[in-house]
Amino acid sequence: MSKATIPQGTRDFSAEVVRKRNYIIQTIKSVFELYGFEPLETPAMENLDTLLGKYSEEGDKLIFKILNNGLGDPKNIEKSRAAFENVLQGKNDRQLTERALKYDLTIPFARYVAMNHGQLTFPFKRYQVQPVWRADRPQKGRYREFYQCDADVVGSTSLVNEVEFALIYANVFQQLNIDVEIKINSRKILTALSELCHAKDKLTGITVAIDKLDKIGIEKVEGELLQRGLNPEQINIIKKYLGISGNNKEKIKQVEELLGHTESGKKGIEELEFMLNYSSDSGLQSLTIDFTLARGLNYYTGIIFEVKAQHVQMGSIGGGGRYDDLTGLFGVPDIPGVGISFGIDRIYDVMEELSLFPKEVHQGTQVLFFNLGDAESTKAFSLMHELRAKDISCELFHQQSKFDKQFKYAERKNISFAALIGSRELETNTCTVKDLRSGKQVSVKQSDLAETIRKMKPEG
RNA sequence: GUGGCUGUAGCUCAGCUGGUUAGAGCAUCAGAUUGUGGUUCUGAGGGUCGUGGGUUCGAGUCCCAUUAGCCACCCCA
């Protein structure tokens, strides 16, 4: 009856897309493992209380809430009605909803750490790749269901962790063949800036405005700062700060002059210098200090990261930073941490745009056996058994058809080889193997089939 | 949550200031071709023009409502 549809902002992923996405995800996961991180998965849904109030007022509105069951049960109906009245007034009511789809991976992780801090070995290093849901209105590159890909270390204040994350970024993007710039800054520098302006209370506002710089330009940032209650004198200081340029060394020198005399300024500079020293010792070249980097989220307290792809017009494809207190909201204080995130959808788009996916990524079945009759298929069946035992994926065309059809099927499934066993081959115990990309074909003994295919296999 | 744009064949889209039977390319199917695909040629099928209402002698075309998608803002990945 009704037309088949999927919910707004969600997507089906076809075979080719899944394979390409898996290629990205596998690369990232293997690098995480290489650096000693362990996987964690948490449920699709959390208790609503776990999520509410953890983001922002806006964030709360964007949480997908799950309706309780049994609301229409006669013995509940009065309560349900009362609860609904509450909801209409913008409140939440446990009677109506007490569970919600997770909104990000960080808060569920914090909940997990708070629940299990007695059992965990600290520093605890975990990575997590799972879908999250937001009731946002979808638009370009923005979905209601999307994957986040996070790694965090909690229970350690050592800056070595930050260096490791920079190395992880470099390692992953090098493997994916994406040219990137890894930008760093310290929130302590931004704190120092707000102190210098005598506007410590406006730190968040300053951060949010600066964060928009590369998107809206300096004039509009000024406008926003003005709107957020800063006077021209203060804005001047900020403009001076944003004007800092040169290479890493020159930038540090300039920022030192501007706010090296403040306590947090000094600390921030130390953090950045530590990272530069350590990472150059590890052979990492692409780290760039960017004082205009701010990051929207205001729980960051130390080093912050952002990764930008070169040669394409695209927002950041990764970001993260240090936070002081992950689990305090769940009653377990003093667990600091640092984490990063990969934007899988954007990485996918970048790789698609620059044609960076290896050709062999989209390959399922390697060999298609043509169906040329019953006796022929029976032979094909026993050969398939042998190939599969040797880890060569293969399938038999489902019915006897014209060559045309069978070839087209193979072509569409991106199958590399056609194996033909017809009456001639049956008599001579041979098999005709055709490489569908080059068009070359050979006749081989059936017993040599697996070996032949392995040799003809172009890559890997 | 606020604003803008768009809904015509499976897909991408034409369709003029309203006018007879709504088109093209690609895809599909059949044939040229009963052991050789990706090229070519011939033919065929496929549409209550998103849905509901209105204006009109007449609506794919104009108006209103509704719904879905896209894009932008807010915010964010």
pLDDT attached to residue A458: 60
| Residue numbers 8-47 of A with CB closer than 7 A to any atom of strand B | 8-9
Tokens of A296: 């929207």
Q: What ipTM was assigned to the predicted interfaces of this complex?
A: 0.82
Report the pLDDT value the prediction gives residue A368, as an integer from 0 to 100.
94
Q: What are the φ/ψ torsions at residue A231 (nearest 5 degrees)?
A: -90, 165
- Length, in residues, of chain A: 460
Residues of chain A with pLDDT under 70: 1-3, 458-460
Å between CA of A402 and C1' of B43: 20
Q: What is the pLDDT of residue A3?
A: 66
Q: DSSP E strands: which ranges in A118-254?
A: 124-133, 145-154, 180-186
C-alpha of A447 from chain center: 46
- DSSP count for chain A of H helices, then E strands: 18, 16
CB A7 under 7 Å to nucleic chain B: yes
Crossing angle for the helix pair A187-196 and A232-242, nearest 10 degrees?
A: 150
Contact between A40 and A153 under an 8 Å Cβ cutoff? The reply is no
Q: Protein A3 CA to nucleic acid B7 C1', in Å?
A: 15
Mark residues 357-386 of chain A whose C-beta is closer than 7 A to nucleic acid strand B: 372
Residues 147-176/A with CB within 7 Å of nucleic chain B are 148
Distance between CA atoms of A350 and A172, rounded to whole angstroms?
Answer: 14
Q: For the sheet containing A97-101, what is the strand order? A: A45-47, A97-101, A65-67
Answer for A399: CB within 7 Å of strand B: no
pLDDT at A2: 56
CB atoms within 10 A of CB A209: 24
Does any strand B atom come closer than 7 Å to the Cβ of A408?
yes
Nearest nucleic acid nucleotide to A132, CA to C1' distance: B77
Q: How far apart are the first and last CA of chain A?
A: 48
Q: How many CB atoms lie within 10 A of CB A239?
A: 14
pLDDT for the residue numbered A123 = 96
Is the separation of the CB atoms in A40 and A102 below 8 Å?
A: no
Q: How far is the CA of A147 from the C1' of B42 (A)?
A: 50
Q: Classify each residue of A29-67 as buried b or exposed e, where b means 16 or more C-beta atoms within 10 Å of its C-beta.
A: bebbeeeebeebeeeebbebebbbebbeeebbeebbbee
Nucleic acid strand B within 7 Å of A397 CB: no
Distance CA A431, CA A370 (A): 11
Structure tokens at A42: 């948490």
Residue A213's CB is within 10 A of a number of other CB atoms, namely 16
Tell which strand B nucleotides have any atom below 7 Å from a protein Cβ: 1-3, 28-30, 33-38, 68-77
Q: What pLDDT sits at residue A150? A: 97
Pairing of strands A45-47, A97-101: antiparallel
Eight-class DSSP state of A136: P
Query: Which positions 111-140 on chain A have a beta carbon less than 7 angstroms from any atom of strand B?
Result: 134, 136-140
Taking the C1' atom of every nucleotide in all shown strands and the CA of A148, the nearest one is B77
Specify whether the CB–CB gap between A237 and A196 falls below 8 A: yes
Does A220 contact strand B, using a CB cutoff of 7 Å?
no
CA to C1' distance (Å), from A239 to B4: 34
For residue A100, which phi and psi values (nearest 5 degrees)? -150, 155
Q: Quick check: A199 and A234 in contact, CB under 8 A? A: yes
Give the nearest nucleotide to A220, CA to C1': B73
A146 touches strand B (CB under 7 A): yes
Q: Is the Cβ atom of A205 within 7 Å of strand B at any atom?
A: no
Q: Are A186 and A271 in contact (CB under 8 A)?
A: yes
Q: What does the domain layout of chain A look like in residue ranges?
A: 15-41+105-353, 363-456
Token readout for A185 is: 């800054």
CA A431 – CA A42 distance, rounded (Å): 50
How long is the CA A317 to C1' B61 vector, in angstroms? Answer: 45
Q: What is the DSSP string of A249-261?
A: HHHHHHHHHHHTT
Q: In whole angstroms, what is the distance from residue A109 CA to residue A28 CA?
A: 19
Residue A327 to residue A332: CA distance in whole angstroms: 5
Given CATH 1.10.260.40, say whether it is the number of domain A363-456. no
With distances taken from each CA to the C1' atom of nucleotide B37, the closest residue turns out to be A407
A31: enclosing H helix or E strand: helix A15-34
Task: Classify residue A439 by burial, with Cβ atoms within 10 Å: 0-12, 13-18, 19+.
Answer: exposed
CB-strand contact A242/B, under 7 Å: no
Give the CA count within 13 Å in the CB-facing half-sphere of A63.
30
Do A275 and A287 meet the contact criterion of CB atoms below 8 Å apart?
Answer: yes
Q: What is the CATH number of domain A15-41+105-353?
A: 3.30.930.10
What letter represents residue A183's amino acid?
A: K
